[in-house]
Structure 1
Amino acid sequence: MPGHRTLRTLPAAWRRPLAAAVALPLLALAAPAAQAEPDDGPAQVWLVEFGEGADASVLDAARDLDFTVRHDFERIWNGVSVEADPATARRLGQLGHVERVWSDVVFTGPARLDRAPEAAGVPELAQAIETTRADVAHDRGITGEGVKVGVIDTGIDYTHPDLGGCFGDDCRVAWGADFVGDEFDSDDPELSEPDPDDDPADCGGHGTHVAGIVGADGQVTGVAPDVRFGAYKVFGCEGSTSAEVIMHALETALDDGMDVVNLSLGQSFQWPGYPTAKAADTLTREGVVVVASMGNDGESGVYSGSAPGVGEDVIAVASTDNPAQRMDAAHVPALDRLVGYRAIGETEEPETGTATDPLVWLGRACADDASEGDVDGAAALVVRGTCTFKEKYERAVAEGATSVVVYNDRPGPFGGGGVEDLGVPIIAVTDADGKDLHDLAAIGEAPVLEFGGDTVLVDLPRGGFASSFTAYGPAPDLSFKPDVAAPGGGIWSTVPVADGSYEALSGTSMSSPHVAGAAALLLQDDPRLEPREVRTRLANSAKPVLWGDNPDLGELEAAHRQGTGVIDVVDALDAEACLYPTGVNTGDGTGPRTFELTLTSRDRTARDYTLTHRSTIATTGDDRDPGFSAAEPEVTFEPRELRLYPGQTATVEVTVEPAADLPDGSVFGGRITARPDGDGESLTAAYSGYQGDYLAIPVLEHPEFPSLAAVVAQDPETHEFEYRDVEVGEAFSLADGPALAALVYLGHQPAAMEVSAANADTGEVVAWDPESLLPRSPGPDDAMGVHLEDLVEQRPNALEPGRWTLTVKVLKALGDENDPAHWEQWTSPEFTLTE
């Protein structure tokens, strides 16, 4: 419809006034009557952060306010969670010694990017274990025995035989709790109140898969098969969780004495200052190794990492793909081989012992495409692309197909959704297998697929390369992230017994537990290691990842996407020195940058080291759809060669001068390696930097946004809002609507955002509560809506009839709030408010 647009929004629980949100904080509430009796809005959960040296006694000064303290996080974070309406939360933020009040935003439930059904007894987790050489550590008797690993996730199916089969003191899953209950979903107001109990049984499946990677011992073998687990369930069977719940779990893991904590979850596009990241940092200072997923938003470009992974002391883990993935298989007699497949969407999978009718080529099968074959009573073969799976499926069924086979239009296996089951199976196969089936159908062979319960290994096209989904750093403050990488694409591991016991899943959710298990191996070998030392050993010994977009060039994947590389457990165990820090932010600018690295010997003999450098690919241009450059920086060392005696520490000064032809706006990086003479282990650190003026990145620059819009409707299921353009001279009733919104696109993470309304007749200015450390808009057209009703809720009766404008101000990342040049501002055209 002309003048209308639909924008994605966050779930209902996120619609808080200017909430710092994971993705799209479209901030809207039902419109209250502005001139009615003051309504402070519904009670919500907020995280109140205190200043240094302050504690919960600060709130004694607010006894006249209506709020409830839910939890004091004094051990892991200097603050409390409270339940209060927005106006009360605003007043709490104005108390002395209160640093800020955070919205308790949603952590979206675990996403399964890749899934293959059961094939019991197939140990493909071993592929990933071999990649990190954890299997060699097992041969040495290093299996994680005596180490406690906490898994903060959907719980663990402790009845799984590979995970011990029981829960309690004498079991492998010995500690844990359910913080939320099976029905909990923080995204649903009716299900957002936790119902905790002492049983961390997993009904979602994700946590069991993660735990299996850490330490399964049975039909599959995890990285550390003799660890004991703490299971901390923070998700219900479906849906999302909250920062408050995650922080409660972190605190309990600390109380239970976990040595390592894994968080295969995260809040994308976030800052290191977010409470979950700061709480995770506190655990490391208490001696707990904290490992977290970097995030799965790699296709959204640079600065897409997640909290808590972007925490300063957290080990953030990127993902590489396994070489191959186990899939269910069908036998094709005409090819005399098995082809891997997976069901698309929630349709019924083919039954064992059945076969398809003969395959007939239908074509691309979009609505406007001509049929290229008669599929009535046959199995339809179609190719992926151009239109949705739903459209292809419905087209094939309408033409009488008895089953549908879709083959990929790009290398490798794939999955999909959005298909409503019409009683006809639809499955996906790889491009190579699909083309072979197409060639047979084209010559009249009419092949069939026979389902006999077999499985087959299918090559992954990015095997050994960075997974397409793995998120890019650096963090919005330019701090170096991720730290390391591990296999996360196509990992076969445990799932709840009722779900079939084993599945292949993909995500940084799967790479993170590889590193958590590796940390457990290091701690068994040397229990005296501090969290920083564990991270240093793993990062120093990591092996570089080639740039998978064009591997023939031999370039290395961006440092701000792989960290120092894929962990190597054996080299981490055997390291006789360390190079620190392992990840360096060289800042912004156009000239050379100088930083120091410290090399410390743990050797028993003197050893000579030589410093070398290898650049990694740089990202250039658009942060959301970056280009790439292999421009080589010039790197010098002082000294370049040095001798270390046992126990000695030496400092090396490194100077990096970016290449002259590297475009401004690029993020560049490289690997610095201290290579020992003889047969000792090399030690690697990595760095990244920004070429140009980081403050020059535009935040509010977009061809369509900011803009004024009227709210038309909200979809109750997707939470998407429909907006229309504001008509010239249109008036907006405070009581009856239509609701008015400023549509704002955040081109980069702003350090702060302020929104205000100004009365053009009186000069009065009414401001929303300011927010800081906001995420950026993920996609090129993803805007957020700042709704006028939010201001009405925060400031009842503050708006009166008259002519008004809205102003949005953003402080650029790393900007000085006292420098006007570091702010961007947009002011709307005038609009009229009536009673």
Structure 2
Amino acid sequence: MPGFRAYSSLRSAPNRLAGRPTAILAAAIALPLLASGAPAAQANPDDESSQVWLLELAPGAGPSALDAVAEGLDYTVRHDFDRIWNGVSVEADPATAHRLGRLDVVEQVWSDIRFNGPARVSDQQAPEESQPELAQAIQTTRAADAHERGVTGEGVKVGIIDTGIDYTHPDLGGCFGSDCRVAYGTDFVGDDFNSDDPEHAEPVPDDDPADCGGHGTHVAGIVGADGKVTGVAPDVEFGAYRVFGCDGSTSSEIIMQALEAALEDGMDVVNLSLGQSFQWPGYPTAVAADKLTEEGVTVVASMGNDGEAGVYSGSAPGVGEDVIAVASTDNPKQRMDAAFVPALDRRIGYRSIDDTPEPEAATDPLVWLGRACADDASEGDVNGMAALIVRGTCTFKEKYARAVAEGATSVVIYNDRSGPFGGGGIEDGPVPAVGLTDADGKDLHDLATIGKNPVLEFPGGTVLVDLPRGGLASSFTAYGPAPDLTFKPDLAAPGGGIWSTVPVADGSYESLSGTSMSSPHVAGAAALLIGDDPRLEPREIRTRLANSAKPVAWGENPDLGELEAAHRQGTGVINVIDALDAEACLHPTGVNTGDGTAPRTFELTLTSRDRTTRAYALTHRSTIATTGDERDPGFDAAEPKVTFEPKSLKLYPGESATVQVTVEPSADLPLGSVFGGRITARSTDDGESLTAAYSGYQGDYLAIPVLDHPDYPKLAAVVGQDPETHEFDYRDFEDGETFSLTEGPDLAALVFLGHQVAELTISAENTDTGETTEWEPEQYLQRSPGPDDAMGIHLQDLLAEHPNALEPGHWTLHIKVLKALGDESNPAHWEHWQSPAFTLTE
């Protein structure tokens, strides 16, 4: 079904909305290293209608079967993914793609969704000695204790699907090839590749996976650096599979090629610090990743960085059934650039605010300016001085402009809440601007307000700064569950404030944050387990790591003693030593208890690997529930009632036993909540504890509204497109308006999806004749990312598939959505919108 324009911030204005072009609905928005939602750019830059599609084929069918029944259709098979996914990628225009979708040998047509690339790492001063924050992280996970035992991942192959690896980095071996640590790999795209840019959307692969973006090198360092920093598994061998150019995005097709190559190269573990937000487990990258686990490869992926977008924000491939999806906790401290303050006789950490010059020398004396919003009175004369400002109320751009207008030679903004921060929004700022923590800023404020007017001296090397959420879930880490209520994420690891390797040209080391940084901790931990016992299968590795994970306190108020939501932390932060020493396992490690208000019962299997008889007692601890609006959830600590049958048991060596767990949600828990908890089987003999987690939905999951946005759906006229950003301009539809089929303007339906949907259909009805035209449905769609994001369904794109489908006359558009987990045969599981009538002319 062509005609869908990707989600964008379609914020209502009197006559203008913005959108980005795609040709199909299966789309979403993502944060750095998490997928964006448009289909991959044109495969052939000279043919604007040509795009890449992923065709899922019927069991047993292959490209030859497709060719046999698709005679006369203009398409090109680009890649056959027979080893990891039963399908092919093809190049075709949208109309042809959907004609292919009607063939019996084709199960489904998926758009080749783009993955946004990470921002390139900035220059960072190389440390003179090993920096402690990666060491802190591997102490948190107890990987450092494994090293003391001699368990270092030797002989294990770890594939990094990312921006490549700077194999010249001394901490990563210094070379590429069979005798090097980075022994395998390829570049699938080339330096200039960017699927967002039609002129550079066609990959130019080569054999050199060198990293010019930096992100993959940082990820590889966390997995296994061995030098000035030490990674989780410092003796692993690497495969570098480069899927991003130096800048920009990539596509699902390319990531799946990398998964295939990692399997062919014999990788034991594959790390994907990337993903597509708000995605379903059935998307091809998730299915392909699951296939690798069937082949014996442990696949680890980021859960996603969309925590601020609320519940159900996880990413594919992380939401894949057998993929280990990793959430992030913050490191206790983060390394930052430092400035020396003579008046305090200490160094303080700072971050440069984007698009202002880097500070290179001492500031002029700091003068307190105040909050520095447009309506605020100046609290000091900053002409020829450095302006000290507190964050809050208005934008950094407004504060900065105010200080510069009053003659400030530099701008120092300190946080109005705990910890460091980063800022932006300034364009081509003429003077340096930096951000400080609240504690350091208040100290400077105290000096400035008594007339001591301190200075900051740059550069001052680096310094460790306390993170206020140390040990807690990172603010960015995404919530599960998956749209089909599958339990996700599986577990957590440090990802906030991790110092690791970056390309030598970029300064060799830098501190980055994201689930991109937590995932490689788990990939490295998996390598340690395999190095200790090569017989372990992927399911056993996930079970050991999840069973032994330690709970995370609730970040909103740690003093209350509540635990972070199970659908945000999984079973908790990994503990490598306990995973290595496990003498039993509890499976499955994450359980979806479904929806409803009645008690739910599920089974857990406890298996002993010990040589002696062991007794176990089962206990439960609830985790915080999320309530209300899934985009901006509230929280509730109402505890479910949990019973076990049996509550205690004894296992002989090698024996397994099944425990029935019944969870009765609290009657005080609001409908629409996602709740969860931890089930622990503790050995009464030696104290070993094994943990599984569960989540469930309180109420009718099918009752979540989809088409209830106050401003959408609605009709709009397309009035233009920005040639650089590709954003569309719209104006509001006027009652009785006429649209020409040949001369325009184009008509669009702007649709906001309040939740993921299993299917969306579009039809048009001629109100004069009753004639109806229906387009092929789209399946498994992501929800709109933000509270005001919508997508555009363009009439001219719909007509590209059926050029003569609509004739002059009076028409209405009809949009129907099938709720997530809905039964398509049940009318109650669908929502319907009918547009106002509009008139079409020749």
Q: Same fold (TM over 0.5)?
A: yes
Deviation digits for residues 574-602 of structure 1, max 9, x if unmatched?
00000000000000010100000000000
Residue 8 (structure 2) aligns with: none
Q: Does 1:345 align with 2:354?
A: yes
Find 1:391's aligned residue among 387, 395, 398. Answer: 398
Q: 1:112 to 1:267 in 2, by over 3 A?
A: farther
Find 1:325's aligned residue among 297, 316, 334. Answer: 334
- Aligned partners of 1:387, 1:740: CA distance in 2, in Å? 37
Aligned AA for 2:618?
A: L
Find 1:217's aligned residue among 216, 222, 226. Answer: 226
Residue 754 (structure 2) aligns with: 747
Deviation digits for residues 263-289 of structure 1, max 9, x if unmatched?
000000000000000000000000000
Any conservation in 2 of the 1:284–1:314 contact (CA below 8 Å)? yes
What SS does structure 2 have at the residue aligned with 1:190?
Answer: helix
- Aligned partners of 1:102, 1:214: CA distance in 2, in Å? 32
Q: Does 1:814 align with 2:824?
A: no
Any conservation in 1 of the 2:347–2:460 contact (CA below 8 Å)? no
Find 2:810's aligned residue among 789, 797, 803. Answer: 803
Residue 4 (structure 2) aligns with: none
Q: 1:206 to 1:7 in 2, by over 3 A?
A: farther
Residue 90 (structure 2) aligns with: 82
- Aligned partners of 1:449, 1:182: CA distance in 2, in Å? 39
Deviation at 1:322, TM superposition (A): 0.1
What SS does structure 1 have at the residue aligned with 2:198?
Answer: coil
Residue 166 (structure 1) aligns with: 175
TM-score relative to the length of structure 1: 0.96
Any conservation in 2 of the 1:28–1:790 contact (CA below 8 Å)? no
Deviation at 1:114, TM superposition (A): 11
- Aligned partners of 1:7, 1:433: CA distance in 2, in Å? 42
Find 1:628's aligned residue among 623, 631, 635. Answer: 635
Aligned AA for 1:226?
A: D
Deviation at 1:57, TM superposition (A): 2.6
Residue 48 (structure 1) aligns with: 55
Find 1:482's aligned residue among 486, 489, 499. Answer: 489
Find 1:61's aligned residue among 63, 69, 74. Answer: 69
Deviation at 1:410, TM superposition (A): 1.4
Q: 1:470 to 1:505 in 2, by over 3 A?
A: same
Q: 1:725 to 1:87 in 2, by over 3 A?
A: same
Aligned AA for 1:728?
A: D
Deviation digits for residues 163-206 of structure 1, max 9, x if unmatched?
00000000000000000001111111111110000000000000
Aligned AA for 1:762?
A: T
Any conservation in 2 of the 1:112–1:506 contact (CA below 8 Å)? no
Q: 1:361 to 1:715 in 2, by over 3 A?
A: farther
What SS does structure 1 have at the residue aligned with 2:289?
Answer: helix
Any conservation in 2 of the 1:58–1:98 contact (CA below 8 Å)? no
Residue 110 (structure 1) aligns with: 118
Q: Does 1:125 align with 2:134?
A: yes
Any conservation in 1 of the 2:124–2:506 contact (CA below 8 Å)? no
- Aligned partners of 1:706, 1:467: CA distance in 2, in Å? 34
Deviation digits for residues 120-155 of structure 1, max 9, x if unmatched?
532421010000000000000000000000000000
Deviation at 1:526, TM superposition (A): 0.4
Aligned AA for 1:212?
A: G
Q: Does 1:581 align with 2:588?
A: yes
Any conservation in 1 of the 2:120–2:246 contact (CA below 8 Å)? no
Q: Does 1:765 align with 2:795?
A: no
Q: Does 1:95 align with 2:103?
A: yes
Q: 1:117 to 1:734 in 2, by over 3 A?
A: farther
Aligned AA for 2:83?
A: R
- Aligned partners of 2:286, 2:791: CA distance in 1, in Å? 24
Deviation at 1:117, TM superposition (A): 5.7
- Aligned partners of 1:464, 1:228: CA distance in 2, in Å? 30
- Aligned partners of 2:573, 2:236: CA distance in 1, in Å? 22
Q: Does 1:176 align with 2:196?
A: no
Residue 135 (structure 1) aligns with: 144
Q: Does 1:417 align with 2:427?
A: no
Q: Does 1:443 align with 2:450?
A: yes
Residue 539 (structure 2) aligns with: 532
What SS does structure 2 have at the residue aligned with 1:824?
Answer: strand
Q: Does 1:472 align with 2:494?
A: no
Deviation digits for residues 279-313 of structure 1, max 9, x if unmatched?
00000000000000000000000000000000000
Q: Does 1:305 align with 2:314?
A: yes
Q: Does 1:358 align with 2:377?
A: no
- Aligned partners of 2:16, 2:697: CA distance in 1, in Å? 35
- Aligned partners of 1:231, 1:25: CA distance in 2, in Å? 25
Aligned AA for 2:513?
A: S
Q: Does 1:316 align with 2:322?
A: no
Deviates more, 1:99-108 or 1:357-366: 357-366
Any conservation in 2 of the 1:22–1:106 contact (CA below 8 Å)? no
Aligned AA for 2:102?
A: Q
Any conservation in 2 of the 1:808–1:825 contact (CA below 8 Å)? yes
Deviates more, 1:591-600 or 1:378-387: 378-387
What SS does structure 1 have at the residue aligned with 2:707?
Answer: coil
Mapping of residues 691-730 of structure 1, within 5 Å: 691-730=698-737
Deviates more, 1:167-176 or 1:368-377: 368-377
Overall identity of the aligned pairs, in %: 78
Find 1:774's aligned residue among 778, 781, 787. Answer: 781
Find 2:517's aligned residue among 502, 506, 510. Answer: 510
Residue 240 (structure 2) aligns with: 231
Q: 1:152 to 1:27 in 2, by over 3 A?
A: closer
Deviation digits for residues 420-478 of structure 1, max 9, x if unmatched?
23331111111111111112111111110012432211000000000000000000000
Q: Does 1:793 align with 2:811?
A: no
Residue 376 (structure 1) aligns with: 383
Find 2:274's aligned residue among 265, 270, 280. Answer: 265
Q: 1:707 to 1:118 in 2, by over 3 A?
A: farther
- Aligned partners of 1:350, 1:25: CA distance in 2, in Å? 37
Deviates more, 1:451-460 or 1:610-619: 451-460
What SS does structure 1 have at the residue aligned with 2:458?
Answer: strand
Deviation at 1:719, TM superposition (A): 4.0
- Aligned partners of 1:603, 1:3: CA distance in 2, in Å? 67
- Aligned partners of 1:355, 1:768: CA distance in 2, in Å? 65
- Aligned partners of 2:454, 2:193: CA distance in 1, in Å? 47
What SS does structure 1 have at the residue aligned with 2:262?
Answer: helix
What SS does structure 2 have at the residue aligned with 1:212?
Answer: helix
**Structure 1: tracts of 5 or more residues without a match:** 31-38
Residue 280 (structure 1) aligns with: 289
What SS does structure 1 have at the residue aligned with 2:222?
Answer: helix
Residue 35 (structure 1) aligns with: none
Aligned AA for 1:251?
A: E
Q: Does 1:204 align with 2:213?
A: yes
Aligned AA for 2:435?
A: A
- Aligned partners of 2:14, 2:290: CA distance in 1, in Å? 45
Deviation at 1:691, TM superposition (A): 0.5
Find 2:617's aligned residue among 597, 601, 610. Answer: 610
Aligned AA for 1:167?
A: F
Residue 252 (structure 1) aligns with: 261
Deviation digits for residues 24-57 of structure 1, max 9, x if unmatched?
8689999xxxxxxxx9961110000012232223
Deviation at 1:417, TM superposition (A): 2.1
Q: 1:501 to 1:484 in 2, by over 3 A?
A: same
What SS does structure 2 have at the residue aligned with 1:659?
Answer: coil
- Aligned partners of 1:323, 1:373: CA distance in 2, in Å? 36
Deviates more, 1:133-142 or 1:813-822: 813-822
TM-score relative to the length of structure 2: 0.95
- Aligned partners of 1:262, 1:196: CA distance in 2, in Å? 21
What SS does structure 1 have at the residue aligned with 2:757?
Answer: coil
Any conservation in 2 of the 1:29–1:790 contact (CA below 8 Å)? no
What SS does structure 2 have at the residue aligned with 1:341?
Answer: strand
Residue 5 (structure 2) aligns with: none
What SS does structure 2 have at the residue aligned with 1:462?
Answer: coil
Deviation digits for residues 727-778 of structure 1, max 9, x if unmatched?
2222112222222111111000000111122221222222333111000011
- Aligned partners of 1:806, 1:724: CA distance in 2, in Å? 18
Q: 1:813 to 1:601 in 2, by over 3 A?
A: same
Q: CA RMSD in A?
A: 2.0
What SS does structure 2 have at the residue aligned with 1:355?
Answer: coil
Any conservation in 1 of the 2:124–2:508 contact (CA below 8 Å)? no
Q: How many residue pairs end up in the alignment? A: 822
Aligned AA for 1:78?
A: N
**Structure 2: tracts of 5 or more residues without a match:** 1-10, 31-35
